Amino acid sequence: MNLPQHVRLVEVGPRDGLQNEKQPVSVADKVRLSDDLSAAGLSYIEVGSFVSPKWVPQMAGSAEVFAGIQHTPGVVYAALTPNLKGFEAAASAGVKEVAVFAAASEAFSQKNINCSIAESLERFVPVMEAARAQGISVRGYVSCVLGCPYEGEVAPAQVAAVSRELLAMGCYEVSLGDTIGVGTAGKTRQLFEVVGRDIPRDRLAGHFHDTYGQALANIYASLLEGIAVFDSSIAGLGGCPYAKGATGNVATEDVVYLLNGLGIHTGIDLDKLIAAGQRICEALGKTTSSRVAKAMAG
Give 219's pLDDT tier (boundaries 50, 70, 90). very high
State how far Cα 265 lies from the chain centre. 20
Strands 76-80 and 204-208 come out as unpaired
The predicted pLDDT at position 246 comes to: 60
Q: What is the pLDDT of residue 84?
A: 95
pLDDT tens, residue by residue, 111-157:
877 889 999 999 999 999 999 999 999 999 999 999 998 999 999 99
The answer to whether 213 and 245 have CB atoms below 8 angstroms apart is: no
Percent of the chain with pLDDT over 70: 97
Kindly tell me if the per-residue pLDDT of 204 is higher than 80: yes
Over residues 256-271, mean pLDDT:
98
Closest to 233 measured CA to CA, from 190, 293, 170, 174: 293
Strand partners, 139: 99, 173
* Active-site residue, 144 included: no
Query: Taking the model in full, what pTM does it have?
Result: 0.96
- Mean pLDDT, the chain, rounded, equals 94
Question: In whole angstroms, what is the distance from residue 287 CA to residue 225 CA?
Answer: 34
Among the listed residues 148, 171, 240, 281, the single catalytic one is: 240
Total residues found in the chain within this entry: 298
Q: Give the pLDDT score at 110.
A: 87
pLDDT at 243: 56
- The per-residue pLDDT for 61 is 87
| pLDDT value for 20 | 83
Residues 195, 204: contact at Cβ < 8 Å? yes
Average pLDDT in the 160-166 region? 98
Nearest-angstrom CA–CA distance, 237 and 233: 6
Looking at per-residue pLDDT, the higher value among 110 and 229 belongs to: 229
Please tell me the distance from the alpha carbon of residue 120 to that of residue 110, in angstroms, as a whole number: 10
Q: Taking residues 192-199, what's their average pLDDT?
A: 97
